[in-house]
A and B are shown apart, each in its own frame.
Chain A
Amino acid sequence: AQSVTQPDIHITVSEGASLELRCNYSYGATPYLFWYVQSPGQGLQLLLKYFSGDTLVQGIKGFEAEFKRSQSSFNLRKPSVHWSDAAEYFCAVGLSGGGADGLTFGKGTHLIIQP
Protein backbone atom coordinates (compact mmCIF):
# COMPACT_ATOMS: atom_id res chain seq x y z
CA ALA A 1 0.00 0.00 0.00
CA GLN A 2 1.12 3.51 -0.67
CA SER A 3 2.09 5.91 2.12
CA VAL A 4 3.09 9.54 2.49
CA THR A 5 5.42 11.05 5.07
CA GLN A 6 5.63 14.71 5.92
CA PRO A 7 8.49 14.85 8.40
CA ASP A 8 7.83 18.36 9.67
CA ILE A 9 4.74 18.81 11.84
CA HIS A 10 5.31 22.55 12.25
CA ILE A 11 7.44 25.02 10.33
CA THR A 12 7.94 28.69 11.18
CA VAL A 13 9.10 31.07 8.47
CA SER A 14 9.52 34.81 8.43
CA GLU A 15 7.40 36.76 6.00
CA GLY A 16 9.32 37.26 2.77
CA ALA A 17 11.60 34.29 3.37
CA SER A 18 11.71 31.20 1.20
CA LEU A 19 9.85 28.02 2.07
CA GLU A 20 10.33 24.32 1.49
CA LEU A 21 7.94 21.68 2.82
CA ARG A 22 9.09 18.10 2.60
CA CYS A 23 7.13 15.12 1.36
CA ASN A 24 8.26 11.54 0.86
CA TYR A 25 6.10 8.81 -0.58
CA SER A 26 6.19 5.06 -0.78
CA TYR A 27 4.68 3.43 -3.83
CA GLY A 28 5.78 0.71 -6.22
CA ALA A 29 5.10 2.54 -9.45
CA THR A 30 5.13 6.15 -10.57
CA PRO A 31 2.57 7.83 -8.40
CA TYR A 32 0.28 10.74 -8.98
CA LEU A 33 1.28 13.40 -6.45
CA PHE A 34 -0.60 16.35 -5.05
CA TRP A 35 -0.22 19.22 -2.63
CA TYR A 36 -3.31 20.62 -0.94
CA VAL A 37 -3.66 23.56 1.44
CA GLN A 38 -6.21 23.86 4.23
CA SER A 39 -6.98 27.14 5.97
CA PRO A 40 -8.59 26.99 9.42
CA GLY A 41 -12.17 25.78 9.24
CA GLN A 42 -11.99 25.34 5.49
CA GLY A 43 -11.84 22.49 3.04
CA LEU A 44 -8.79 21.48 1.06
CA GLN A 45 -7.67 23.45 -1.96
CA LEU A 46 -5.42 21.93 -4.61
CA LEU A 47 -2.13 23.81 -5.01
CA LEU A 48 -0.53 21.65 -7.69
CA LYS A 49 -0.24 18.14 -9.03
CA TYR A 50 2.27 15.90 -10.76
CA PHE A 51 1.14 13.25 -13.20
CA SER A 52 4.06 12.84 -15.61
CA GLY A 53 6.47 14.82 -17.73
CA ASP A 54 8.38 17.81 -16.39
CA THR A 55 9.40 17.05 -12.83
CA LEU A 56 9.10 20.70 -11.77
CA VAL A 57 5.46 21.68 -11.58
CA GLN A 58 3.99 25.10 -11.03
CA GLY A 59 0.89 25.69 -8.99
CA ILE A 60 -1.32 28.44 -7.75
CA LYS A 61 -0.32 31.19 -5.33
CA GLY A 62 3.31 31.10 -6.46
CA PHE A 63 4.00 27.56 -5.27
CA GLU A 64 6.04 24.96 -7.11
CA ALA A 65 7.08 21.39 -6.39
CA GLU A 66 9.75 19.09 -7.72
CA PHE A 67 9.33 15.35 -8.20
CA LYS A 68 12.53 13.41 -7.52
CA ARG A 69 12.08 9.74 -8.26
CA SER A 70 15.47 8.75 -6.84
CA GLN A 71 14.57 10.26 -3.48
CA SER A 72 10.86 9.40 -3.57
CA SER A 73 10.20 13.02 -2.77
CA PHE A 74 7.83 15.76 -3.88
CA ASN A 75 8.84 18.87 -1.94
CA LEU A 76 6.82 22.06 -2.08
CA ARG A 77 8.58 25.40 -2.44
CA LYS A 78 7.83 29.09 -2.53
CA PRO A 79 10.48 31.78 -2.97
CA SER A 80 8.85 34.38 -0.74
CA VAL A 81 6.03 33.64 1.69
CA HIS A 82 3.20 35.98 2.61
CA TRP A 83 1.30 36.11 5.89
CA SER A 84 -1.71 34.70 4.05
CA ASP A 85 0.22 31.46 3.39
CA ALA A 86 -0.18 30.45 7.03
CA ALA A 87 -2.18 27.22 6.85
CA GLU A 88 -1.95 23.43 6.95
CA TYR A 89 -0.32 21.80 3.95
CA PHE A 90 -0.96 18.23 2.88
CA CYS A 91 0.93 16.07 0.45
CA ALA A 92 -1.05 13.22 -1.11
CA VAL A 93 -0.53 10.31 -3.47
CA GLY A 94 -3.01 8.62 -5.77
CA LEU A 95 -2.92 5.54 -7.93
CA SER A 96 -4.44 7.48 -10.81
CA GLY A 97 -4.99 11.09 -11.65
CA GLY A 98 -6.69 11.40 -8.31
CA GLY A 99 -10.12 11.32 -9.79
CA ALA A 100 -10.71 7.62 -10.12
CA ASP A 101 -9.71 6.45 -6.67
CA GLY A 102 -9.01 7.77 -3.24
CA LEU A 103 -5.98 9.70 -2.12
CA THR A 104 -3.55 8.78 0.64
CA PHE A 105 -2.56 11.86 2.62
CA GLY A 106 0.39 12.73 4.80
CA LYS A 107 -0.26 13.99 8.32
CA GLY A 108 0.25 17.57 7.23
CA THR A 109 2.66 20.42 7.99
CA HIS A 110 1.44 23.44 9.90
CA LEU A 111 3.03 26.59 8.49
CA ILE A 112 3.43 29.59 10.77
CA ILE A 113 4.46 32.94 9.34
CA GLN A 114 6.38 35.35 11.55
CA PRO A 115 6.05 39.08 10.81
Chain B
Amino acid sequence: DAGVIQSPRHEVTEMGQEVTLRCKPISGHNSLFWYRQTMMRGLELLIYFNNNVPIDDSGMPEDRFSAKMPNASFSTLKIQPSEPRDSAVYFCASSFVPSEQYFGPGTRLTVT
Protein backbone atom coordinates (compact mmCIF):
# COMPACT_ATOMS: atom_id res chain seq x y z
CA ASP B 1 0.00 0.00 0.00
CA ALA B 2 1.19 3.53 -0.73
CA GLY B 3 0.27 4.80 2.71
CA VAL B 4 -1.58 8.01 3.41
CA ILE B 5 -1.08 10.44 0.55
CA GLN B 6 -1.18 14.20 1.04
CA SER B 7 -0.97 16.96 -1.52
CA PRO B 8 0.57 19.35 -2.01
CA ARG B 9 3.67 18.68 0.09
CA HIS B 10 4.46 22.38 0.22
CA GLU B 11 2.18 25.35 -0.25
CA VAL B 12 3.11 29.01 -0.19
CA THR B 13 0.31 31.51 -0.48
CA GLU B 14 -0.50 35.10 0.32
CA MET B 15 -2.70 36.22 3.14
CA GLY B 16 -6.34 36.26 2.16
CA GLN B 17 -6.08 33.49 -0.41
CA GLU B 18 -7.98 30.22 -0.22
CA VAL B 19 -5.93 27.12 0.51
CA THR B 20 -7.06 23.54 -0.03
CA LEU B 21 -5.13 20.60 1.38
CA ARG B 22 -5.89 17.10 0.18
CA CYS B 23 -5.65 13.66 1.70
CA LYS B 24 -6.10 10.15 0.40
CA PRO B 25 -6.33 7.65 3.26
CA ILE B 26 -5.11 4.08 3.16
CA SER B 27 -7.57 1.92 1.28
CA GLY B 28 -9.99 0.15 3.62
CA HIS B 29 -9.48 2.52 6.52
CA ASN B 30 -12.66 3.93 7.99
CA SER B 31 -11.41 6.83 10.11
CA LEU B 32 -9.57 9.95 9.00
CA PHE B 33 -7.92 12.64 11.10
CA TRP B 34 -6.51 16.10 10.42
CA TYR B 35 -3.77 17.44 12.72
CA ARG B 36 -1.78 20.66 12.73
CA GLN B 37 1.80 20.94 13.97
CA THR B 38 3.40 24.23 15.05
CA MET B 39 6.41 25.03 17.18
CA MET B 40 4.30 26.83 19.74
CA ARG B 41 1.39 24.42 20.13
CA GLY B 42 2.84 21.11 18.98
CA LEU B 43 0.51 18.56 17.37
CA GLU B 44 -3.17 19.38 17.64
CA LEU B 45 -6.18 17.44 16.44
CA LEU B 46 -8.36 19.59 14.20
CA ILE B 47 -11.14 17.24 13.14
CA TYR B 48 -11.81 13.58 12.54
CA PHE B 49 -14.24 11.49 10.53
CA ASN B 50 -15.62 8.00 11.05
CA ASN B 51 -17.11 6.36 7.96
CA ASN B 52 -16.95 9.74 6.18
CA VAL B 53 -19.01 11.48 8.88
CA PRO B 54 -17.42 14.31 10.89
CA ILE B 55 -17.41 13.26 14.53
CA ASP B 56 -15.52 15.99 16.36
CA ASP B 57 -14.51 19.33 14.90
CA SER B 58 -13.91 21.08 18.21
CA GLY B 59 -10.24 21.50 17.33
CA MET B 60 -10.93 23.57 14.23
CA PRO B 61 -9.56 27.00 15.15
CA GLU B 62 -12.28 29.12 13.61
CA ASP B 63 -14.85 29.37 10.86
CA ARG B 64 -12.16 30.03 8.29
CA PHE B 65 -11.34 26.32 8.50
CA SER B 66 -13.55 23.64 6.98
CA ALA B 67 -13.08 19.96 6.19
CA LYS B 68 -14.97 17.54 4.04
CA MET B 69 -14.86 13.86 3.29
CA PRO B 70 -17.09 13.23 0.26
CA ASN B 71 -16.11 9.57 0.03
CA ALA B 72 -13.95 6.97 1.77
CA SER B 73 -10.91 7.73 -0.33
CA PHE B 74 -10.65 11.50 -0.21
CA SER B 75 -10.73 14.39 2.23
CA THR B 76 -9.99 18.10 2.03
CA LEU B 77 -9.10 20.75 4.55
CA LYS B 78 -9.82 24.26 3.37
CA ILE B 79 -8.74 27.59 4.82
CA GLN B 80 -10.53 30.66 3.53
CA PRO B 81 -9.23 33.30 3.89
CA SER B 82 -5.77 32.25 4.99
CA GLU B 83 -3.72 34.22 7.53
CA PRO B 84 0.00 34.14 8.43
CA ARG B 85 -0.80 32.45 11.76
CA ASP B 86 -2.14 29.46 9.80
CA SER B 87 1.42 28.64 8.74
CA ALA B 88 2.10 25.12 10.00
CA VAL B 89 2.52 21.53 8.92
CA TYR B 90 -0.82 19.83 8.41
CA PHE B 91 -0.97 16.07 8.80
CA CYS B 92 -3.63 13.67 7.70
CA ALA B 93 -3.89 10.25 9.36
CA SER B 94 -6.14 7.26 8.80
CA SER B 95 -7.00 4.11 10.68
CA PHE B 96 -9.10 0.99 10.56
CA VAL B 97 -10.93 1.12 13.85
CA PRO B 98 -9.86 0.15 16.44
CA SER B 99 -6.26 -0.02 15.31
CA GLU B 100 -3.65 2.69 15.36
CA GLN B 101 -3.42 5.75 13.14
CA TYR B 102 -1.11 5.97 10.17
CA PHE B 103 0.18 9.40 9.27
CA GLY B 104 0.84 10.99 5.93
CA PRO B 105 4.01 12.99 5.17
CA GLY B 106 2.30 16.30 5.86
CA THR B 107 1.73 19.53 3.97
CA ARG B 108 3.92 22.46 4.96
CA LEU B 109 1.83 25.62 4.58
CA THR B 110 3.39 29.06 4.54
CA VAL B 111 1.11 32.09 4.44
CA THR B 112 2.89 35.37 3.72
- By the criterion of a CB under 8 Å from any partner CB, how many residues of chain B are at the interface? 27
With A and B bound together, what is the CA distance between A46 and B44 in angstroms? 17
B65 interface residue (CB < 8 Å to A)? no
> Which residue from chain B places its CB closest to the CB of A51 in the assembled complex?
B98
* CB under 8 Å from chain A, chain B span 4-52: 4, 31, 33, 35, 42-45, 48, 50
B42 contact from A34, A44, A49, A105, Cβ within 8 A:
A105
Q: A45-B103, A46-B102 are in contact. Are A101 and B56 (CB under 8 A)?
A: yes
* CB under 8 Å from chain B, chain A span 36-51: 36, 41-46, 49
| Closest beta carbon of chain B to A58's beta carbon, Å | 15
Chain A positions near chain B (C-beta within 8 angstroms)? 34, 36, 41-46, 49, 90, 96-108
Please name the 7 residue pairs, one residue from A and one from B, whose CB atoms are nearest each other, closest first. A99-B95, A97-B98, A102-B45, A105-B43, A43-B103, A99-B97, A44-B103
